[in-house]
């Protein structure tokens, strides 16, 4: 077994063996959405995203997962990373830094890992994975696996964080779509945000796990619907995270590029 199976961050233990390596194919199959007409990103309306601008959009999973925040940055144009014209390539750098800061500003987030794999969907999409504060065991490359292993974070907390990230991004332009969870005044017991306050809901935990999306599997985005919490927090909400103030001056504001329509690939 390779050395990484003995790293503290490796999520598994016990007897394991490496799978046999399949023979290489002569011609690789097309990725999902190679044609813009069949592309999920191109055919998904803005209201399925948490924030949108003229050339960029940010979306979440359709429900919370194990990490405090998992977001995807997409360009509007049907392009992959290597196809970006200079305008979008430059903006990608700015958007990456901006979104990293926004996610890192959330309570309980230590670091944000940025990933682009590109084997699933053809349309450029960058993953932003928040590593919970204090969880040193989750450091590094196995974070995406831990996202499927950790208990799902409470939905109200997740929705509140989505709204905070969207509002942060909107400080620099674009439009925030995600809104904070609606307060249900007629049933105050359902909006308990305390990680330990929902223990009476354990019967719904298994169901919540069944609903866990196939994280990092190029999920089709869905419109985010307000729902009550179904799962108490068990592991991912430390109380001592430091939080930088959302200072606009830390970022030089909006890009001043002229509005240019990037060329499509087809």
Nearer to Zn ion, 85 or 228 (CB): 85
3-state secondary structure of 54: coil
Q: How far apart are CA 31 and CA 81, in angstroms?
A: 14
Rounded Cα distance, 197 and 241, in Å: 20
Q: Out of 31, 32, 39, 180, which residue is the one contacting Zn ion (CB under 5 A)?
A: 39
**Total residues in contact with Zn ion, by rule CB under 5 A:** 5
Q: Which is nearer to Zn ion, 41 or 112 (CB)?
A: 41
Distance CA 245, CA 162 (A): 17
- Based on CB atoms, which residue is closest to Zn ion, 125 or 231? 125
41 lies in the binding site for Zn ion (CB under 5 A): yes
Binding mask 161-200 for Zn ion (x = CB under 5 A): ----------------------------------------
Q: Which is nearer to Zn ion, 189 or 266 (CB)?
A: 266
Q: How far is residue 89's CA from residue 12's CA, in Å, rounded to a whole number?
A: 38
Do the beta carbons of residue 153 and residue 236 sit within 8 Å?
yes
Other beta carbons less than 10 A from residue 105's beta carbon:
20
Binds Zn ion (CB under 5 A): choice among 9, 31, 42, 100? 42
> 55, 59, 76, 78: which one contacts Zn ion (CB under 5 A)?
78
How far apart (Å, rounded) are the C-alpha atoms in residues 149 and 141?
14
Q: Name the closest residue to Zn ion (Cβ).
A: 39
Partner residues linked to 121 by β-bridges = 32
Please report, as ranges, the residues that interact with Zn ion according to CB under 5 A.
Answer: 39, 41-42, 78, 123
């Amino acid at each position: 077994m390779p050395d990484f199976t003995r790293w503290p961050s490796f999520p598994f233990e016990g007897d394991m063996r490496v799978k046999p390596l399949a023979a290489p194919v002569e011609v690789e199959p097309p990725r999902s959405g190679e044609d813009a007409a069949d592309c999920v990103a191109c055919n998904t309306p803005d209201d399925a995203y948490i924030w949108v601008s003229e050339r960029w959009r940010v979306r979440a999973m359709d429900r919370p997962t194990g990490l405090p925040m998992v977001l995807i940055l997409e360009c509007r144009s049907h392009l992959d990373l290597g196809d970006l014209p200079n305008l979008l390539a430059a903006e990608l750098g700015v958007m990456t830094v901006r979104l990293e800061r926004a996610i890192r500003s959330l309570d309980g987030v230590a670091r944000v890992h940025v990933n682009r794999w590109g084997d699933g969907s053809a349309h450029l999409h960058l993953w932003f994975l928040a590593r919970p504060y204090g969880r040193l065991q989750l450091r590094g490359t196995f974070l995406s696996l831990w996202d499927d292993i950790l208990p799902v974070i409470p939905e109200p907390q997740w929705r509140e964080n989505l709204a905070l990230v969207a509002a942060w991004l909107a400080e620099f332009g674009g439009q925030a779509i995600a809104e904070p969870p609606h307060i249900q005044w007629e049933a105050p017991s359902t909006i308990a945000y305390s990680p330990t306050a929902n223990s009476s809901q354990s019967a719904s935990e298994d169901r919540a796990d069944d609903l866990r999306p196939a994280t990092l599997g190029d999920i089709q985005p869905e419109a985010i619907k307000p729902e009550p919490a179904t799962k108490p927090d068990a592991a991912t909400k430390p109380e001592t995270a430091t939080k930088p103030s959302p200072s606009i001056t830390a970022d030089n504001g909006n890009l001043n590029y002229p509005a240019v329509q990037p060329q499509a690939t087809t």
